[in-house]
Structure formats: structure tokens, C-alpha cells
Amino acid sequence: MTTTDTPPTERLMSTQAWVSYLSKVELPVLANTLRRINELTDSKNSTVNELANVILNDAQLTSQVLRLSNTVFYNQTRTQVSTVSRAITLIGFDAVKSMAISSLVVDTLLQRNDRPHLLRCLARAIHAAVQARCLMPKRNETALEEVFIGGLLMSIGELAFWSCDTEQATELEQRLRLEEPPVEAQKEVLNTTFTEITRGLVEAWSLGPFIRDVVSPGKPNSPGASLVRHSVEMAKLSENGWRGAEIDKLLERLAADVGEAPAAIRDRVKVNASEAAKVAVSLGIPQVTELLPGSENRNGNTAARAPDIDPELQLQILRDMTQTLAEKPDINEVCQLVIEGVHRAIGMQRVVLLMTDRGGQNLVPRKVGGRGTEEWRENLTIARDGTGPLGCLLPNASSVIYQPAKNADGVPYDRWLGRVPALIGPLKARGRLVGLFYADNAAGDYLPSDQQLSAFSHFIQNAQLCLNMMASG
């Protein structure tokens, strides 16, 4: 999950050096793709096709956009969306553009690293983006998505920095652990600040005039830019609760941005914080929900809690399964629906279906879903006799919550497999194990809930039913 790029051989000690290093060495693909997406505007029909093509060129991005397209946050009609072009038509060009940008940023950065500072920064960025979008007076779709992306990318310099494994990142992390003032520590270690790096990246990556206004010094040039700045500030302050002189003043500024009374804004921002947690789960990072305000465990006083399942989406996918079984049992289609259901409706970050290989000795991936599963297709193998580092993942007679031993073995291509709690369920043919479903949350520090296990079991029962129907037919 950490980057394989070569860290700089010399210390980087200027804004331009960091901007160049992040753009050309560490994150060139992200920089180029964001630039391409931001250059697209809904001015003519061809750009709709161009946006669809940018998304479709990346299978993971396509999956993420379609998943987001079926969430209430973007799709309040609950009309099922199954293609990118349909999403653009139904939900809107700017909304799909917003989904693509947020998915790209989250996926690219978290595939590289999972530093606590990166997770904290991502939680704040998502919270700020959701607050800005939800508080924005309903003018038009473009404005709503503009403030969302503004909130997400206002800290892109900090996000990009923490995604990299450099000596200076480790040094700054140690200084912040000693509670040195953040800006002073940045200047000491980097000879610049995250704010300056962000401004440099906004220019280098051509992120557009609105975001340039948001991150520029001085007063913002538009109410939307002012709303984004205040939303970002509130996302940080609210981590210590919703009361206090500082947050009271900030709520007054937010009220002025949107033309409402401060008391009304206080109630709205609490609701929006809960919405931000749902968006984080939809983006495939449920582990950051505990860092958002309102989380019972943000101060580490209680164990981290698994995200809530989406019962409506679960029911919809189960209906799709029932229809498939009634029309023509197709194990591939049913299993794909199980993967989708476990990933989207249950909230598990990574899911895989393993089936017996041709030799009959091992279980190997047949279908995967979620961030961080790319390496599994080529490397993941579980011996059917229970030997090897992942033999402990072989399921029993029914679906279970796997709890790893403290000294559990791991594998070189994935730091979490076998070492984190997971859901495991068997597929059998004539009483013989032929496959298993496995789902975990990577760095998410919590056990799957009993509710998640129950829903997981329900999905797998449908796959088992399909397998039985095919065997008897």
C-alpha cells in the first residue's frame, strides 16, 4: 500500500521543489488526469463523451463513479444507474465530474500510504466538501459541485505530501507528535508550508480559477469561495466539538455566506457531518468515519465502530439476484451481485470471491472489488488443505467474522490480508468446498458488526442457491 517511487536523494527545501517532485515523480498520473478532467466543461455534447472516456479508461474509477451514482447524496431519485453515460444523463455532467475527481484523489493517495496524518487530512477534506455542498444555496449544479471539489482540494498540498514515503515526511510526523506548532514545524522541515505547496499544485495541475480563488491569499472573490474556506476551517474546529467561542464566530461567518441565522446553521452542520460519514463509506474509506465529529470514538475512548449497512440498497441487490435466479441461473452474474452488495450495501472496503483452480489444490481469485485488490488477482492463493500463511482464512461450515491472532502471518504483497478482522463465507458443491467470499476493511480498526455478518450471509446464501440450482439442473 505504500509507494514504490524512489524518494528524493536530497532534501527538498522550497515550494517549487516540492511542487515539481509531487507532480513529476510521485503523482504524475493523478496530476495529468485531474488536469484533463478539469479542462472539460459541459459546453458541447462531445465533452460528455470525453468525460465518459476518461472515466472508462480506468476500471477502478468506473466502479467508484457508478457506486457513487447510486447513493442518495448524488442520486436522490434512487433510479438505478449502471453505465457512466447514463450517470451523466441522469445525475448531470458536473456531478459525475465531481465524483470522478473525489474518487481519483482518494484512491490514488490511499493506495500509496495510510499514514494517520493522511487519513486525518482526508477526513477533514471530505467533511469540508460535504459541508460546502450541503450549505450552498441551491443555485445550480455547477456551483454545488464547484464548492464540493473546492473543499476537497483546498488541502491538496498536505494530502499529496502525506501520501509520500520521504524522510522529511517521517521527520515532520515526529515533530507534530511532539506537538510542535504545525506551521512552524512545516517551515523548519520543508522550508515552506502546506498552504504554499497547495497553491503551487493548483497552478501546476491547472485545477481552475475557482480553486485558485479558494486557496489564494486575501479576501475571496466570490461567496462560494468564502463558503469553502469557512467550511474547511469548521471541519478542523469541529473535531473538538460543536461548542466554543471559535466555532460560534465561524458559524456566524457561515451564516453570512448562505444568508441564514447562526442557530439554524448549527443544526444543519451537525446533520451534514453525519452525511460526510456516509460519503466517506461510499468513497470506500469507512476507516475515516471515526475521525469525523460526532463519532463516539474520535478520542479513542471506545472501540471503532463498523459503518451502518444500507438496507435499501441491500434489498435492491437481493431483488436483482432473485430476478436472475428466476430467469436463468447464472453463477457469474449472481456472484458479481454478491461482490457489489458486500462492497456497497454492507460497507466492506475490499471483497474477493476465490474459487478452486484447475489443479484443485488451491483457491484463487475469480472476482474482486474495492480499492487495494489489484495485487490479489495475480498473487492471492489459499491452499485448500489449510497450509500456508493464509490457511487460517479457510471458512468453517458457515459465514463467520474472522479475528486474527496477534502474531498472525501475512503476505508480502498486502499488509492486511490475514492480519485484520474480516468476513468469510464458504461456497460448496455437493458438500465440498469450491470457493469462498472474503471481505475486509484494510486499515479500518474495527470488527465487522453482527448486522454486517447477517447481511453478508444472506448474500452468500443466494450464490449458494444458484450453485445448487445449476448442479441439480
The pLDDT tens digits for 312-344 are 888 888 888 888 888 877 888 888 889 988 988
Percent of all residues in the chain with a pLDDT value above 90, rounded to a whole number? 43
Task: Give the model's confidence band at 470: pLDDT under 50 very low, under 70 low, under 90 confident, else very high.
Answer: confident
28-39 and 93-112 helices, crossing angle to 10°: 170
pLDDT at 3: 45
Distances (CA, A) of 71 to 87, 100, 216, 296, 451: 12, 14, 33, 24, 20
- Averaged pLDDT, 5-18: 82
Q: How far apart are CA 115 and CA 171, in angstroms?
A: 13
Whether pLDDT at 220 is above 70: yes
Residue 296: pLDDT above 60? no
Is residue 434 over pLDDT 60? yes
Of the two residues 105 and 4, the one the predictor is more confident about is 105
Average pLDDT over residues 64-80: 85
Note the pLDDT of residue 305: 59
| Residue 304 pLDDT | 53
Instruction: Please say if the pLDDT value at position 297 is more than 50.
Output: no
DSSP track, 352-394: EEEEE-TTSSEEEEEEEESTT-HHHHHH--EETTS-STTGGG-
Q: Is pLDDT above 80 for 251? A: yes
Q: Which residues contact 286 (CB under 8 A, 6 or more apart)?
A: 280, 306, 307, 347, 349, 441, 444
∠ Cα 222 225 231 (to 5°): 140
- 124-141 pLDDT, tens digit each: 999 999 999 999 987 677
| Res 299 pLDDT > 50 | no
% of the chain exceeding 70 in pLDDT = 93
Compute the distance between CA of residue 388 and CA of residue 379 in angstroms, rounded to an integer: 13
Q: How confident is the model at residue 300 (pLDDT cuts 50, 70, 90)?
A: very low
Q: Most confidently modeled of 70-74, 144-148, 306-310, 330-334?
A: 144-148
pLDDT digits 0-9 by tens, 395-419: 778 899 999 887 777 888 887 888 8
pLDDT for res 40: 84
Could you tell me the maximum CA-CA distance found in the chain, to the nearest angstrom? 72
Q: Which residue has the higher pLDDT, 228 or 43?
A: 228
Per-residue pLDDT reduced to its tens digit, 273-283? 999 988 988 88
Per-residue model confidence (pLDDT) at position 354: 94
Q: What is the pLDDT of residues 174-216, one digit of tens each?
A: 888 888 899 999 999 999 999 999 999 999 999 999 999 999 9
pLDDT (0 to 100) of residue 326: 85
Residue 222 and residue 443: Cα distance in Å, rounded?
39
Q: Which of 50-64, 189-203, 356-370, 421-435 reaches the highest mean pLDDT?
A: 189-203
Residue 308 is given by DSSP the state P
Mean pLDDT value of segment 238-266: 90
Whether pLDDT at 301 is above 70: no
Residue 343: phi and psi, rounded to 5, are -75, -50
Return the pLDDT at 154: 95
**14 has pLDDT over 90:** yes
Q: Mean of the per-residue pLDDT values for the chain?
A: 87
Residue 298: pLDDT over 70: no
How many of the other CB atoms lie within 10 Å of CB of 119? 20
109/3 Cα distance (integer angstroms)? 9
